């Protein structure tokens, strides 16, 4: 059976929205058209993908499996499209993703010296999309901060740096030269607990089952706004804290948590000479955070 990528895109939109009306708006198509396409997809697979009632739309077990498989397939198709378009454009371009607090200029200059005929572009990424940009072809390589889902990627370590606690400027700990993670036991962490395993082990809100939801934040600026408002605390790499300094937020070193690991990542399936050359020079560049 040939899989229709358009139907898969429609399915993913409904699966993520769990609402046909919202999914139709997102796709800019009429809802009856979307419903027909989903029914056609179910007929092709000969399974029910959604359990629908007048009040709700939920994924079936088959639907959940298809969602898991459809996302990387669509990302791979988009990556292929981008690379074909790029090849047709000429001249050669090479795109580097990088996380906040990381300066890629030395690596870009070194790469340009080796490949003066290649146009180098850079894209700043976030915790949300630092791996997505590899899978969908927006970048050739990405300078990422661990942890990430490494499936399908090649990884090369670059450097490590300490992490600090970001606190509101009038916080009880804001003036201290350094703290232990245990000092934050009764705080609300503005990021997933797995991002700071040491805090997870001592956090009162987790032990008492009273953890508040973490707001969705797509940028460092948004995170700093929540900290400044007194919504909680955040643990971030030192270079990020240095770059995003503001008077109403204080950065305090945390002595007993693991350093943040920074790596170069690229799709393991790629066989690009440019990628290999950049990976080779990346380990020779001085990535020391400028603090």
Residue-wise pLDDT tens digits, 52-108: 887 889 999 999 999 988 888 888 888 777 777 766 665 588 999 999 999 999 999
For domain 163-253, is the CATH number 3.40.190.10? yes
Stretch 139-167: mean pLDDT: 94
Stretch 197-206: mean pLDDT: 90
232 backbone dihedrals φ, ψ, rounded to 5° = 165, -165
- pTM for the model stands at 0.71
Task: Say what the pLDDT of residue 103 is.
Answer: 93
Task: Say what the pLDDT of residue 54 is.
Answer: 78
Q: Cite the residue boundaries of each domain of the chain with CATH code 1.10.10.10.
A: 5-74
Is the bond into 42 cis (omega within 30 degrees of 0)? no
Stretch 163-180: mean pLDDT: 96
For domain 5-74, is the CATH number 3.40.630.10? no
pLDDT, the chain, mean: 90
d(CA 264, CA 144): 6
pLDDT at position 202 over 80:
yes
- CB burial readout 50-74, b (16+ within 10 A) else e: beeeeeebebeeebeebbeebbeeb
Task: Say what the pLDDT of residue 252 is.
Answer: 97
Return the half-sphere exposure (C-beta side, CA atoms, 13 A cut-off) of residue 281: 18
For domain 90-155+262-282, is the CATH number 3.40.50.300? no
Handedness of CA 251, 255, 257, 259 (dihedral sign): positive
Q: Cite the residue boundaries of each domain of the chain with CATH code 3.40.190.10.
A: 90-155+262-282, 163-253
- Residue 45 gets the label, from left (phi > 0), alpha (psi -120 to 50) or beta, of alpha
Percent of the chain with pLDDT over 70: 97
pLDDT at position 8 over 80:
yes
d(CA 275, CA 95): 10
CA distances from 73 to 40, 149, 178, 282 (A): 19, 16, 46, 30
């Amino acid at each position: 059976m040939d899989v229709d990528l358009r139907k898969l895109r429609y399915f993913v939109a409904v699966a993520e929205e769990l609402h046909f009306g919202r999914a139709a708006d997102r796709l800019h198509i009429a809802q009856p058209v979307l419903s027909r396409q989903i029914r056609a997809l179910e007929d092709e697979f000969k399974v029910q993908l959604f359990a629908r009632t007048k009040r709700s739309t939920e994924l079936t077990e088959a639907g959940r499996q298809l969602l898991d498989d459809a996302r990387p397939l669509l990302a791979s198709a988009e990556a292929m499209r981008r690379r074909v378009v790029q090849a047709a454009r000429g001249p050669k371009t090479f795109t580097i993703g990088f996380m906040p607090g990381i300066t890629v200029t030395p690596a870009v200059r070194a790469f340009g010296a080796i490949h003066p005929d290649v146009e180098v572009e850079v894209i700043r990424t976030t915790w949300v999309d630092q791996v997505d940009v590899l899978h969908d072809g927006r970048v050739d390589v990405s300078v990422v901060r661990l942890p990430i889902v490494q499936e399908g990627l090649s990884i090369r370590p670059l450097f490590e740096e300490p992490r600090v606690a970001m606190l509101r400027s009038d916080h009880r700990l804001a003036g201290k030269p350094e703290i232990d993670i245990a000092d934050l036991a009764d705080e609300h962490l503005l990021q997933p607990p797995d991002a700071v395993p040491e805090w997870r082990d001592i956090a009162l809100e987790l032990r008492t089952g009273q953890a508040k939801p973490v707001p969705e934040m797509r940028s460092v600026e948004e995170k700093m706004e929540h900290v400044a408002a007194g919504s909680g605390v955040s643990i971030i790499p030192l270079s990020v804290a240095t770059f995003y300094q503001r008077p109403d937020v204080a950065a305090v070193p945390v002595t007993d948590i693991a350093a943040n690991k920074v790596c170069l990542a690229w799709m393991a399936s790629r066989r690009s000479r440019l990628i290999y050359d950049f990976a080779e020079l990346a380990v020779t560049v001085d990535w020391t955070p400028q603090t």
